[in-house]
């Protein structure tokens, strides 16, 4: 449990609170980094990287497209999966403390309200802004809203698919606890860190399952009514479950230095050796990415295996690094951590408006990305800080 959770739990001692706080600060800091990467990846798509986003500023040159797409492939391999793992880690303690009723009510409050707000206000606002500034739409915002509501057919729009998925995962977890009759789950145990061979086998199986899913549903395909990109969900589901297990067995406290070195070395090998070979041999450098996305192609199998190995390797490396080096917080990190969820909910309009505002500046796209990204990250956190000070906002965000 984090400090706020520990203080709210009946029977906690001051020593317990301090132990929980000391242990979890690195997780808060890591989650903040993942939220920053979400912003940067969406801006990368804006300026030429492959991916789906509201606004793309023209066609990038070969170097910009190549570098930003490579960046996106690396980040995509781990950042959302790691967020699901961290979310899974906090789920058992929340359920144990609150019970099924309060647990689900709290999830509906903190996940459902932002999703509805985004679906009904922020998303149509962004559609109107882009229609007016990019496509020459002359109607008012109210007219655009009326049209949007008449044709409304999707929930979990934009990046709020993640919040929607967490709501679904939380409901499934609560149902599983009810079905197994576990009103209170086993306490944390100090189980040893899983053997590296088992982790490697897990990554291999996850890669094969991902390839099999993408035989019929290529990367990028989404189940439209819920805006869920199913081809990525084998990793998301698996890592959410691993997060739950990691809490129960206290695994995050047992990542030793030898394990960290092994997976860090594998991360570097996958980035600087395996990835270039895969891109060159598979034809990606010629602009042909389709075989990598799915179907019965060796590129799809190789990419799925690389992607899942990369996701596991980076996740372990970052968890070990942050636990060792970033297991403390000053005032700045504490505020960034407190605002990270709000940033995730609100970052889309901030970076779209920032990109539109910078649209008239003629500069090399890779350089523009490098200039806009840090400014956009800062703006997102400043806005989140202000929003969380509004009445009742902190209860939800």
* 189-236 residue pLDDT tens: 788 899 999 999 999 999 999 999 999 999 999 999 999 999 999 999
- Half-sphere CA count of 143, side-chain side, radius 13 A: 7
Q: Tell me the mean pLDDT in the region 346-375.
A: 96
Q: Which residues contact 297 (CB under 8 A, 6 or more apart)?
A: 291
Q: Tell me the mean pLDDT in the region 291-310.
A: 98
In terms of Cβ atoms closer than 10 Å to its own Cβ (0-12, 13-18, 19+), residue 100 is: middle
Could you give the percent of the chain with pLDDT greater than 70?
92
Question: What is the DSSP annotation of 1-57?
Answer: --HHHHHHSTT--HHHHHHHHHHHHHHHHHHHHHHHHHHHHHHHHHTT-SS--S---
Residue 382, pLDDT > 60, answer yes
Q: How many angstroms separate the first and last alpha carbons of the chain?
A: 18
Are residues 126 and 352 in contact, defined by beta-carbon separation less than 8 angstroms?
A: yes
Backbone angles phi, psi at 110, to 5 degrees: -85, -20
Q: What is the pLDDT of residues 127-179, one digit of tens each?
A: 999 999 999 999 999 999 999 999 988 999 999 999 999 999 999 999 999 99
| CA-closest candidate to residue 312, choices 200, 189, 233 | 200
List C-alpha distances in Å: 225 to 96, 154, 189: 32, 5, 41
**The predicted structure's pLDDT at residue 185:** 55
| CA-closest candidate to residue 140, choices 155, 152, 128 | 128
pTM, 2 dp? 0.93
**The predicted structure's pLDDT at residue 187:** 64
> Taking all residues of the chain, what is their mean pLDDT, rounded to a whole number?
92
Q: What is the band of 32 on the pLDDT scale with cuts at 50, 70, 90?
A: very high
Q: Using CA atoms, how far apart are residues 335 and 339, in angstroms rounded to an integer? A: 6
Helix H or strand E segment including 122: none
Q: Tell me the mean pLDDT in the region 116-134.
A: 96
Q: What is the band of 20 on the pLDDT scale with cuts at 50, 70, 90?
A: very low
Q: Tell me the mean pLDDT in the region 265-281.
A: 97
**The predicted structure's pLDDT at residue 184:** 54
Q: What is the pLDDT of residues 65-77, one digit of tens each?
A: 999 999 999 999 9
**The predicted structure's pLDDT at residue 381:** 98
Q: What is the band of 285 on the pLDDT scale with cuts at 50, 70, 90?
A: confident
């Amino acid at each position: 449990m984090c400090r706020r959770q520990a203080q709210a739990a009946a029977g906690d001692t001051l020593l317990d609170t301090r132990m929980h706080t000391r242990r979890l600060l690195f997780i808060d800091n890591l989650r903040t980094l993942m939220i920053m990467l979400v912003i940067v990846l969406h801006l990368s798509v804006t300026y030429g990287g492959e991916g789906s986003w509201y606004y793309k500023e023209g066609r990038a040159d070969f170097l910009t497209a190549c570098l930003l797409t490579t960046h996106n492939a690396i980040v995509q391999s781990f950042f959302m999966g790691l967020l699901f793992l961290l979310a899974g880690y906090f789920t058992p303690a929340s359920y144990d403390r609150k019970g099924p009723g309060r647990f689900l009510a709290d999830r509906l409050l903190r996940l459902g309200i932002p999703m509805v707000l985004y679906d009904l206000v922020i998303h149509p606002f962004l559609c109107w802004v882009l229609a007016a500034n990019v496509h020459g739409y002359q109607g008012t915002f109210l007219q655009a809203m009326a049209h949007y509501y008449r044709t409304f057919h999707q929930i979990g729009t934009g990046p709020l698919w993640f919040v929607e998925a967490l709501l679904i995962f939380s409901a499934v977890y609560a149902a599983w606890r009810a079905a197994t009759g576990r009103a209170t789950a086993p306490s944390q145990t100090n189980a040893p860190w899983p053997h590296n061979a088992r982790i490697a086998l897990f990554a291999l199986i996850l890669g094969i399952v991902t390839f099999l899913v993408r035989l019929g549903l290529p990367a990028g395909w989404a189940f439209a009514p819920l805006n869920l990109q199913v081809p990525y969900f084998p990793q998301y589901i698996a890592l959410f479950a691993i997060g739950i297990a990691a809490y129960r067995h206290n695994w995050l406290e047992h990542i030793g230095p030898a394990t960290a070195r092994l997976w860090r070395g594998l991360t570097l090998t996958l980035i600087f050796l395996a990835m270039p070979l895969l891109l060159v041999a598979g034809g990606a450098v010629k602009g042909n990415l389709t075989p990598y996305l799915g179907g019965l192609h060796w590129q799809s199998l190789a990419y799925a295996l690389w992607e899942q190995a990369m996701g596991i390797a980076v996740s372990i490396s970052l968890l070990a690094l942050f636990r060792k080096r970033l297991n403390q917080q000053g005032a700045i990190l504490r505020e960034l951590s407190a605002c990270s969820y709000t940033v995730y909910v609100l970052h889309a309009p901030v970076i779209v408006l920032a990109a539109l505002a910078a649209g008239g500046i003629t500069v090399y796209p890779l350089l523009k990305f490098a200039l806009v990204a840090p400014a956009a990250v800062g703006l997102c956190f400043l806005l989140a800080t202000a929003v969380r000070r509004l009445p009742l906002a902190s209860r939800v965000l």
